[in-house]
Structure 1
């Protein structure tokens, strides 16, 4: 049979395909940005939208493409003869294995062409397919590269395949699915950037407020008080440092310092309060830490000097060099722990929320 080689279909993109690519990129970019921005500004609905948006888009895409899939399923495929130029098993050792075929397809009413296709073939039937063998194939009329070998053709086509003698089609007539190309990739990337930027711009105010909360001018610039102390406050912690010659064991010093860090109508809760001779540090409780937080203004500060004196004199430290008080409720109940150090080592004393001693750990 004389074969007239056909030309491969042109690779192009319709405006609808490009618009769909831009929309897909926009949904992906907006979803990723919603997850990131929602996590940063603690916006639960926005964070959840990052998961919901692609699901909704996928469902809408499935519904809108249903008519096209129905038309494709209803279309009658073309049937033709093809000669096997080469075949190669590309995986599997039992049952159905994928085989890559290179075929010369010879339709009755169209130019012949060459195509590559992959199809699962049962290992038992693999010997039925050999180079230069003639087979019956089917393919959609508008997508000739989607060729599939008919494993059980009708008697008429089976007789035609048995008696046919087909020539090979030149490599120049090979057809394939239109490549995506640079235009589609560029449109997809543009949509992704547009979706991410849209979310960031919509919530830029919340992002700026979040940045101000963590790096506010008041937190960056320490202020000196009339008692020569330095106060530094941020969203996560606060410190007060006294000047030379002062001590937090002085009357009223701790109460005033704690008030400067936690004052206001909405008093801040704390995870820990650490007191040293001239340094007070408070770690504020984040959202959701209810089981471990406490009110730092309710501590028994009037008992702190006596607790320090007991720790320095009754725990075997004869020449104490440093001391510190650590208050937290990480173990469940509020604990005020006084730790002293000296040449003999380290010793500690634990008290409850009212300042009553409940445990002593002497040096050594």
Structure 2
């Protein structure tokens, strides 16, 4: 069967529908994987990070598997043999015995027009004098890829005889140095668009966690500004309990706010033991031990105020509750020693942790 070789002047190949689809899918995989890695790292979402790593690996394996039949067909194709004339050659570097040499060749197939091609081959320094300009050599190349020309170092006796008596005229350029460039204008734009859409899709799915309302529990006390003494708050004190409700824009996690709220409930009165202390973002409730009661209480000054923000932050971010909606810290000493419990609830369920009077975590119950 005669196969017409590709001439140097062949027009660029245009992308097929399959090429465009592959480019779009590749862009989407790259964009979504990178976004998943970034978003997963920011949110500390381990499954998302694992997915960002696993998806491109799985896609790469899928591409390799899909291309295996084509590679097998190419490997089964018998290469064509032809004579070629060396137009010029130049060593391009190398410090070993085999140096890369760039050959400019005129290839003359038996059943097609001659063409110019550029090819880089590794040649042993001992054999380098055998290759000279205007010299005739034997080459091989795949029928469907005439630019992949390789010199045959030990041709058969028949081809050696043909090369010894052959004369090949030079063919003008251009030089064929590789596969004709594909027309990638539309394909490139579609791939880029798919990349952007893939990244945007991941960000959109986790927009609530990324761009939700700012929560003062996520920042340490040193990063929060001091509470504005001019803002409103409501304090209610009775014989059995006391409550402080902060106004809009305030939080018990503003610097010193929790301690001031507790002091406002005990100011001007004899120090009383607390039975329980319940803290929420803008609400503090203290239940005092009844007068004359022997119920186990504790001094509110003994609370580890400096550790409370870190305990709440850990409960909200490290116990598996994504987008926590509510949280509550309860301090009590019913068992004899001061104990702090922080509970959080969200779309994934509820979780809690328990700490001792020094603010050291002694137990964690993650979300299930």
Question: 1:282 maps to which residue?
Answer: 309
Which one of 196, 201, 205 corresponds to residue 198 of structure 1? Answer: 201
TM-fit CA distance, 1:72:
0.5
- Counterpart for residue 11 of structure 2: 10
1:297 is aligned, of 331, 353, 359, to 331
Tell me, yes or no, if structure 1 residue 224 matches structure 2 residue 233. yes
Between the aligned partners of 2:176 and 2:309, the Cα distance in structure 1 is 74
TM superposition shift of 1:197: 2.6
Asked whether the equivalents of residues 85 and 103 of structure 1 are also in contact (C-alpha less than 8 Å), the reply is yes
1:253-332 aligned at under 5 Å gives the runs 259-261=279-281, 273-274=304-305, 282-283=309-310, 284-286=312-314, 287-288=317-318, 297=331, 329=360
The answer to whether the 8 A contact 1:39-1:47 is kept is yes
Sort the Cα spacing of 1:214 and 1:186 in 2 relative to 1 into closer, same or farther, 3 A.
same
Shift, 1:67, TM fit: 1.0
Q: In structure 1, list runs of 5 or more residues that go unmatched.
A: 265-271, 290-294, 304-325, 333-364
Shift of 1:211: 3.1
**Cα displacement (A) at 1:81:** 0.9
SS at match of 2:251: strand
Q: Please, which of 111, 119, 122 is the counterpart of residue 120 of structure 1?
A: 122
Instruction: Summarize the alignment of residues 18-167 of structure 1 with structure 2, pairs less than 5 Å apart.
Output: 18-167=20-169
| CA–CA separation in structure 2 for the residues paired with 1:238 and 1:159 | 98
Which region of structure 1 is more displaced relative to structure 2, 246-255 or 207-216? 246-255
State the Cα distance separating 1:150 from its structure 2 match: 1.2
SS in 2 for 1:36: helix
Q: Measure the CA separation in 2 of the matches of 1:133 and 1:104.
A: 11
For structure 2, list consecutive stretches of 5 or more residues without a partner in the other structure: 1-5, 237-243, 285-302, 320-328, 338-356, 363-368
> Per-residue displacement from partner, 1:78-119 (whole Å, max 9, x unpaired)?
111111122222231113222221111111111111111122
Instruction: Return the offset for 1:44.
Output: 2.5
Find the aligned partners of 2:33 and 2:129 in 1 and give their Cα distance. Answer: 50
> What do you get for the CA RMSD once the two structures are aligned?
4.3
Whole-angstrom distance in 2 between the partners of 1:33 and 1:128: 56
Offset from partner CA, 1:28-75 (integer Å, 9 cap, x none): 112112222333344322221111111111111111111111111111
Question: How many angstroms apart in 1 are the aligned matches of 2:188 and 2:161?
Answer: 47
C-alpha separation in 2, matches of 1:207 and 1:237: 29
What is the rounded CA distance, in whole Å, between the counterparts of 1:237 and 1:158 in structure 2?
A: 91
Q: 2:258 aligns with which of 240, 246, 249?
A: 240
Pair 1:92–1:26, CA change in 2 (3 A): same
| 3-state secondary structure, aligned to 1:297 | strand
Alignment deviations for residues 335-363 of structure 1 (CA, whole Å, 9 cap, x no partner) = xxxxxxxxxxxxxxxxxxxxxxxxxxxxx
Q: What secondary structure sits across from 1:11 in the alignment?
A: coil
- TM-score, structure 1 normalization: 0.64
Q: CA deviation at 1:214?
A: 3.6
Q: TM-score, normalised by structure 2?
A: 0.63
- Contact 2:84–2:136 (CA<8 Å) still a contact in 1? yes
Once residues 105 and 212 of structure 1 are traced to their aligned partners in structure 2, the CA distance between those partners, rounded to angstroms, is 67
Partner of 2:190: 187
Taking a change above 3 Å as real, the CA distance of residues 211 and 195 of structure 1, as seen in their structure-2 partners, is closer
User: How far is 1:261 from its partner?
Assistant: 4.9
Contact persistence 1:102–1:114 (CA under 8 A) = yes
CA distance in 1, matches of 2:71, 2:130: 33
- Asked if 1 retains the 8 angstrom alpha-carbon contact of 2:259 and 2:305, the reply is no
Decide whether the 8 Å contact of 2:141 with 2:148 is kept in 1.
yes
Q: CA deviation at 1:163?
A: 1.7
